[in-house]
Amino acid sequence: MKRTIFVVAVIVLAGLLSGTFEAIHPFGVPSDTAMDDYILQHAPRDRSAQNVVTSMVFDFRGFDTLGEAAVLFTALCSIGALFRDGGKQE
């Protein structure tokens, strides 16, 4: 019973996903590239970065990367807190 409901849900989702093939832009031709072209031009000129992706990660979107490092630190703290008691029982 429950499995039948799951299968029906997956089939409905497959229909929805195949419907989106109509709306999406063709592969290899991005629809709006103004921001990326700006970054591709200005990253080596203004910020002297050869690797544009690294320049975005650490320079244009550096605050995002700070949050990413904070997420990693939070996961580490959670794992340490989960296993803190178990590690000392032996």
Partner 1 sequence: MTDSIVKTLDSVGNAPYFVVALLVLMALTAILTQKNLIKICIAVAILGSSVNLFLVLLGYRDGGSIPIYYLKGAEKGMVLPTPQCLTLTAIVIALATTALMLSLIILIHKHYGTLNIDEIRRLRG
Partner 2 sequence: MKPLSVIVTSVCDVFAWFMIVFGVYVINNGHNTPGGGFQGGAIVATFLSFLLVAYGGRRFLSWVREGLYGFLEFVGLMAFFIFGCVGFPNSFFYNSLAIPEGGAPLSNWIPWSGTISLMNIAVGCEVVGALSLVIVYMYSSIRLVDTGAGMGGERGHDRFDR
Distance CA 29, CA 33 (A): 10
Residue 39 interacts with partner 2 (CB under 8 A): yes or no: no
> In which residue are the tokens 């990660």 written?
57
Distance CA 64, CA 58 (A): 9
24 phi and psi angles, rounded to 5 deg: -80, 155
The residue among 66, 64, 39 whose CA lies nearest residue 53 is: 39
Find the part of the chain contacting partner 2 (CB under 8 A) among 1-9, 10-18, 27-35, 45-53: 45-53
User: Which chain residues interact with partner 1 by CB under 8 A?
Assistant: 3, 6-7, 9-10, 13-15, 17-19, 21-22, 24, 26-30, 33, 35-36, 39-40, 43-44, 50-53, 56-57, 61, 64-65, 68, 71-72, 74-76, 78-79, 82-83, 86
Give the binding site for partner 2 (CB under 8 A): 44-51, 53-55, 57-59, 62-63, 65-66, 69, 72-73, 75-76, 79-80, 82-83, 86-87, 89-90
